[in-house]
Amino acid sequence: MKPTILVCCASSIATSTVIAVKVREIMEDRGFDVTVAQSSFAEMSSKVEMVHPCLIMVTGAVTAPVGIPLLVATPFLTGIGKDKVIEQMCEIVQSALSGG
């Protein structure tokens, strides 16, 4: 089963859609085959139970379920710190693919 990245924002409409598209493109460009799912903050816990993500990317202050890495995704909107987040994202996905 391929790894899933869950992208969460307040409403799961605009911001998470923009970020999800960018995450898909970046992962594809780097040769990773992942599923990218979206959720609102309010639905995050139930979505985690459904999709079992290896990574949660958020646009605001929320607490991730224990054991799941969480990255702030706003650099995909601002460009500031984007390279570092991409590096961390790739490391987490690679670890998931390696069974880590």
Break the chain into its structural domains and give their ranges: 4-97
Angle at which helices 82-97 and 15-29 pack, to 10 degrees? 60
Question: What is the dotted CATH code of the domain comprising 4-97?
Answer: 3.40.50.2300
pTM of the model as a whole: 0.94
CA atoms of 30 and 9, how far apart (whole Å)? 25
Instruction: Give the model's pLDDT for residue 100.
Output: 67
Q: In the chain, pLDDT over 90 holds for what percent of residues?
A: 83
Cα–Cα distance between 5 and 24 in angstroms, integer?
Answer: 9
> For residue range 18-49, what is the model confidence (pLDDT) as tens digits?
999 999 999 999 999 999 999 999 999 999 99
pLDDT at 14 (0 to 100): 87
Q: Is the pLDDT of residue 72 over 90?
A: yes
Percent of the chain with pLDDT over 70: 99
